[in-house]
């Protein structure tokens, strides 16, 4: 028996449940933060809110909900821009895939994933890079499994040997934060083996010579030293990717949640440019988005730099179209993103926040700092379906309906497919739809908006977004969803983007895609003697994000929060499975039991973000942000483990 197997694995002996959140059924207000909430009428809650917003003009920010519908996100960003005169509107896309959007936009001019789910079933190679889709994208993973059944090979690139990796033909386990060296070494190997698609590179890209020079130092052996992945495995993946007729490169947060997340994304896109694995059926790039409608939220303009239809705020023609439709002036500059809004709270320049369906008090990196900043606001209104920790910090709490069952509208998934959702159940108590609340508040602030229903909102959006113009509700119903772009009511575009790159005619080919000249930059939170362990955080199948929507149910599958260590480290620190230890970083500390997982390597620990009411993992994480996308380095903190019986250093 190996050393690994001798250490017993902890097993949950009983079904685990975490904090149960009960639905909000009526508005809550309070006069000061020291007081408990009291029940209020909608009229009182909204009048108060409107009065505060009036006072906060110029210092207002909105967090919009990536779970709510496109229609709600359209109205929310319109509220920020028209009623409050600001582009300060954003969502949890910032903590998540903003680097994918930024990286894809820089390369191709559009931030969406380039392929469709169906193409994963009809491809030859699937690379899951920094993505545990078996747990986090189980529906997409069904398409992956079909692809494998149809003969596709799969590789997983993840520091942990995950459930996803169990289905792969090859697993590459890089050290956390070494994806750029790994990608560059793959690129160099492809070039040296003569496997680059020279015709595509010449016609459809720019910057190849600079790229080839950039990756030249990344020999297989140097990459092995830096990433910890054996040279032979790097070579194998390079050859498999370059030789495949069709290949899908899929990535998620293992790539984006780093202080250089956008650079990571560019490093992966480079590989598709080098091989021509983009812009054709079966070949493309799939950043699997996180929330049911985080793609749609951004498409609807609930981000600080884009108007609905992903139109650049700095483009005067786009701005003018919205200004004449909305009868307003859109500020001709980018607003603050979520991360910058948090900084502005600290500086005192952001005084009021309208938080719709987000729980940043528990989801932001360095959560103690996030809570302190939220407390510094003059006014916080939270509109949610549950009384979250963030709502507990608010002055006014508004009960909303749940988009997925109590509201009509549409959502957009990560293959850019817009689909209808329908009201199926009655909301509890006095809960109201997000759109109604936004429209009533707009009315109190002097803007009469009348939408008969969600379809009316959608038709307004269609009139302003060329990418959505051809998607009437009737067509969405008849076709069971349509992918954008869909400019015409009587046709459909291909299921993949950027086919233009393959056009022989340069005029039709359009702007070539530039290689991203990005350099390795290791994680900010360095490991040293005091904090010798690399902590990475992420997800499990049985729970959802901050646990608000998935708390309260008991299942033998669920085991609550643990700090997961490999058997060698458990032995090194003299701890056994199930033993409670103190986990400390440079920001804070928590107490959690140990779980021993042979899928980890020495020096690497894993925790989830799912049980913050019991163990607040984000007290440990670092707010080191990607300067381009604003995403924090959730995937790389430095920690130490202290036995609870030992004196705490
Ligand atoms: N069951 C469930 N499903 C979910 C969610 C949930 O909470 N629960 N949340 C949804 C949301 S919001 C999102 S954004 C998605 C996220 O979906 P994923 O991104 O797949 O989920 P994570 O577990 O956060 O991270 C993925 C992997 O990144 C790896 N990783 C860490 N550091 C590195 C690194 O430096 N390099 C590489 N290559 N990999 C690294 C981790 O080991 C982990 O396995 O899931 C969505 N789906
Ligand atoms: N340590 C660590 N932290 C992370 C991450 C990580 O990997 N590691 N990942 C980050 C990522 S990818 C993400 S996306 C964020 C998620 O961070 P958040 O979005 O802040 O967290 P959620 O738990 O998803 O909160 C969603 C809220 O929306 C509410 N809600 C749901 N539907 C509706 C609706 O229709 N209307 C309204 N008004 N409210 C609704 C829910 O009740 C819940 O309170 O966390 C980030 N934080
Ligand atoms: Mo996410």
Query: Among 534, 514, 531, which residue's Cα sits nearest to residue 523?
Result: 534
> How far, in Å, from the CA of 348 to the mean position of ligand 1?
33
Evaluate: CB of 599 within 6 angstroms of ligand 1. no
> How far, in Å, from the CA of 159 to the mean position of ligand 1?
12
> How far, in Å, from the CA of 473 to the mean position of ligand 2?
28
Contact 158, 171 (CB under 8 A): yes
Q: Minimum mean pLDDT among 14-28, 198-212, 228-242, 470-484: which range?
A: 14-28
Contact 17, 543 (CB under 8 A): no
Evaluate: CB of 367 within 6 angstroms of ligand 2. no
Radius of gyration of the chain (CA): 24
Nearest CA to ligand 1 atom 8: 544
pLDDT band of residue 374 (cuts 50, 70, 90) is very high
- Cβ neighbours for 114, distance < 8 A, ≥ 6 positions apart: 104, 108, 278, 279, 284, 285, 286, 496, 497, 498
> How far, in Å, from the CA of 610 to the mean position of ligand 2?
10
> How far, in Å, from the CA of 63 to the mean position of ligand 3?
14
- Our mutation pick for probing the ligand 2 site, out of 24, 67, 393, counting the most ligand atoms within 8 A of Cβ, is 67
Tokens of 374: 């939220």
One-character DSSP codes across 553-604: --BTT-----EEE-HHHHHHTT--TT-EEEEEESS-EEEEEEEE-TTS-TTE
Q: What domains does the chain contain, in order, with CATH numbers?
A: 4-15+525-643 (2.40.40.20), 41-91+292-483 (3.40.50.740), 98-287 (3.40.228.10)
Reply yes or no on whether the pLDDT at 1 is more than 70: no
pLDDT band of residue 269 (cuts 50, 70, 90) is very high
∠ CA(181), CA(182), CA(185), 5° rounding?
80
Evaluate: CB of 183 within 6 angstroms of ligand 1. no
Q: What pLDDT was estimated at residue 442?
A: 98
- Cβ neighbours for 2, distance < 8 A, ≥ 6 positions apart: none
Q: What pLDDT was estimated at residue 16?
A: 85
| In the block, residue with structure tokens 């809110």 | 49
Average pLDDT over residues 213-224: 98
Q: What pLDDT was estimated at residue 350?
A: 98
pLDDT band of residue 553 (cuts 50, 70, 90) is confident
Q: What pLDDT was estimated at residue 3?
A: 35
Evaluate: CB of 96 within 6 angstroms of ligand 1. yes
Nearest CA to ligand 2 atom 29: 357
Q: What pLDDT was estimated at residue 582?
A: 98
pLDDT band of residue 646 (cuts 50, 70, 90) is low
pLDDT band of residue 552 (cuts 50, 70, 90) is confident
Digit-coded pLDDT (tens) for 195-212: 999 999 999 999 999 999
Q: Tell me the ligand closest to 411's alpha carbon.
A: 2
| In the block, residue with structure tokens 């595509």 | 200
- Our mutation pick for probing the ligand 2 site, out of 70, 160, 355, 384, counting the most ligand atoms within 8 A of Cβ, is 384
Tokens of 61: 């920010």
pLDDT band of residue 44 (cuts 50, 70, 90) is very high
* Between 5 and 620, the higher pLDDT residue: 620
Average pLDDT over residues 547-569: 91
Q: What pLDDT was estimated at residue 2?
A: 38
Long-range own/partner contacts, residues 492-496 (CB < 8 A, 24 or more apart):
494/281, 495/115, 495/116, 495/118, 495/119, 495/281, 495/415, 496/114, 496/115, 496/116, 496/119, 496/279, 496/280, 496/281, 496/283, 496/284
Q: What pLDDT was estimated at residue 45?
A: 98
Evaluate: CB of 311 within 6 angstroms of ligand 1. no
Atom of ligand 2 nearest to the CA of 546: 23
Distance, in Å, from the CA atom of 192 to the CA atom of 441, rounded to the nearest integer, reads: 62
Evaluate: CB of 549 within 6 angstroms of ligand 1. no
**Average pLDDT of every residue of the chain:** 95
Q: What pLDDT was estimated at residue 6?
A: 39
pLDDT band of residue 119 (cuts 50, 70, 90) is very high
pLDDT band of residue 428 (cuts 50, 70, 90) is very high
Evaluate: CB of 287 within 6 angstroms of ligand 1. no
Q: With a threshold of 0.85, does the pTM exceed it?
A: yes
Reply yes or no on whether the pLDDT at 4 is more than 50: no
> How far, in Å, from the CA of 549 to the mean position of ligand 2?
9
Reply yes or no on whether the pLDDT at 437 is more than 90: yes
SS3 536: strand
pLDDT band of residue 527 (cuts 50, 70, 90) is very high
Q: What pLDDT was estimated at residue 17?
A: 85
Q: What pLDDT was estimated at residue 142?
A: 97
Q: How far is CA 210 from CA 1, 222, 226, 276, in A?
A: 51, 20, 22, 18
Nearest CA to ligand 2 atom 28: 357
> What is the Cβ-side half-sphere exposure of residue 436, based on CA atoms within 13 angstroms?
15
Q: What pLDDT was estimated at residue 558?
A: 87
∠ CA(129), CA(134), CA(135), 5° rounding?
105
Digit-coded pLDDT (tens) for 452-462: 999 999 999 99
> How far, in Å, from the CA of 309 to the mean position of ligand 3?
21
Contact 620, 563 (CB under 8 A): no
> How far, in Å, from the CA of 617 to the mean position of ligand 1?
15
Reply yes or no on whether the pLDDT at 111 is more than 50: yes
pLDDT band of residue 13 (cuts 50, 70, 90) is low
């Amino acid at each position: 028996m190996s050393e690994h197997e001798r250490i017993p694995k902890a097993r949950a002996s009983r079904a685990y449940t975490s904090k149960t959140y009960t639905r909000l059924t009526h508005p809550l207000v309070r006069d000061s933060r020291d007081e408990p909430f009291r029940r209020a009428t909608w009229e009182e809650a909204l009048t108060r809110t409107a009065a505060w917003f009036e006072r906060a003009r110029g210092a207002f920010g909105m967090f919009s909900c990536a779970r709510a519908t496109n229609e709600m996100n359209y109205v929310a960003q319109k509220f920020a821009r028209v009623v409050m005169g600001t582009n300060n509107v954003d969502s949890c896309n910032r903590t998540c895939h903003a680097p994918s959007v930024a990286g894809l936009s820089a390369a191709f001019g559009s931030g969406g994933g380039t392929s469709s789910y169906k193409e994963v079933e009809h491809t030859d190679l699937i690379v899951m890079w920094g993505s545990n889709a078996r747990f986090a994208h189980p529906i997409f993973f069904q398409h992956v499994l079909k692809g494998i059944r149809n003969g596709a090979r799969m590789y997983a690139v993840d520091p942990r040997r995950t459930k996803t990796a169990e289905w792969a033909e090859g697993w590459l386990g890089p050290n956390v934060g070494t994806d750029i060296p790994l990608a560059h070494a793959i690129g160099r190997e492809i070039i040296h083996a003569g496997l680059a698609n020279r015709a595509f590179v010449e016609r459809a890209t720019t910057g190849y010579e600079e790229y080839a020079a950039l990756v030249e130092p990344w020999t297989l052996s140097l990459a092995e030293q830096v990433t910890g992945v054996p040279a032979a495995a790097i070579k194998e993946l390079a050859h498999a990717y370059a030789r495949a007729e069709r290949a899908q490169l899929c990535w998620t947060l293992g790539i984006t949640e780093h202080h250089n997340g956008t650079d990571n994304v560019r490093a992966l896109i480079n590989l598709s440019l080098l091989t021509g694995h983009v812009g054709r059926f079966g070949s493309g790039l799939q950043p699997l988005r996180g929330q049911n409608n985080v793609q749609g939220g951004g498409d609807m303009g609930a981000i600080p730099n884009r108007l609905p239809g992903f139109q650049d705020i700095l483009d005067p023609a786009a701005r003018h179209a919205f200004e004449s439709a909305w009868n307003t002036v859109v500020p001709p500059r980018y607003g603050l993103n979520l991360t910058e809004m948090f900084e502005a709270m600290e500086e005192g320049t952001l005084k009021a926040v309208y938080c719709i369906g987000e729980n940043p008090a528990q989801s932001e990196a360095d959560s103690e700092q996030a809570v302190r900043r939220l407390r510094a606001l003059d006014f916080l209104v939270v509109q949610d379906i549950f009384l979250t920790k963030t709502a507990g910090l608010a002055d006014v709490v508004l009960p909303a309906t749940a988009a997925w069952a109590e509201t009509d509208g549409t959502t957009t998934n990560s293959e850019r497919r817009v689909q209808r959702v329908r009201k199926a159940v009655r909301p509890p108590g006095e809960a109201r739809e997000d759109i109604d609340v936004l429209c009533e508040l707009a009315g109190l602030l002097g803007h009469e908006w009348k939408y008969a229903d969600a379809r009316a909102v959608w038709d307004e959006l269609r009139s302003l977004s060329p990418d959505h113009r051809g998607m009437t509700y009737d067509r969405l119903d008849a076709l069971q969803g349509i992918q954008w772009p869909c400019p015409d009511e009587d046709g459909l575009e291909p299921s993949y983007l950027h086919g233009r790159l393959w056009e022989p005619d340069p005029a039709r080919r359009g702007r070539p895609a530039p290689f991203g000249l990005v350099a390795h930059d290791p994680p900010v939170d360095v490991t040293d003697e005091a904090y010798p362990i690399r902590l990475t955080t992420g997800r499990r199948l049985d729970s959802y994000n901050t646990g608000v929507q998935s708390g309260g149910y008991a299942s033998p599958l669920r085991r609550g929060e643990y700090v997961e260590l490999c058997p060698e480290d458990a032995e090194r620190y003299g701890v056994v499975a199930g033993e409670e230890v103190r986990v400390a970083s440079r920001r804070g500390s928590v107490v959690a039991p140990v779980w021993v997982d042979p899928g980890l390597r020495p020096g690497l620990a894993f925790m989830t973000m799912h049980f913050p009411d019991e163990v607040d993992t984000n007290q440990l994480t670092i707010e080191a942000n990607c300067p381009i996308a604003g995403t924090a380095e959730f995937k790389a903190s430095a920690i130490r483990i202290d036995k609870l019986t030992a004196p705490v250093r």
